[in-house]
Amino acid sequence: MGKLMNILPVSDLRQDAAKVLKQLRDNKAPIIITQRGRAAAVMIGVEAYEKSEHDKELLRLLAKGDRETETGEGYDLDAVLADADLLLSREPS
């Protein structure tokens, strides 16, 4: 069974924002804010937001790597590892 969604009317948010923010911090689950009975916004805590942004950046970098590989711009893993081995095997000057 999926997670139960936290749904809150905007009037409740307006009435006791501090309590809603505490709920966000404690439960770490998103809260759907409704207006006139319809979903209008989603509130998430700072940690969840930062994780989401980090994950999006990681996906962006992976997609960039895929594009580079498809166009031949990327580097072959075996070649990179061979170069690394060569650099590491050299004696320090």
Indicate if 39 and 56 belong to the same structural domain. Answer: no
Q: Is residue 60 part of a domain?
A: yes
Q: Which residues contact 28 (CB under 8 A, 6 or more apart)?
A: 45, 47, 48
| pLDDT at res. 10 | 97
Q: In which residue are the tokens 């996906």 written? A: 59
pTM of the model as a whole: 0.66
Q: Is residue 69 part of a domain?
A: yes
pLDDT at 4 > cutoff 70: no
pLDDT at 1 > cutoff 70: no
| pLDDT at res. 3 | 64
When divided into structural domains, the chain yields a total of: 2
Q: Please report which confidence band the pLDDT of residue 8 belongs to, taking 50, 70 and 90 as the band edges.
A: very high
Domain with 30 in it: 6-44
pLDDT digits (tens, 9 = 90+) for 17-64: 999 999 999 988 999 999 999 999 999 999 999 999 999 999 999 999
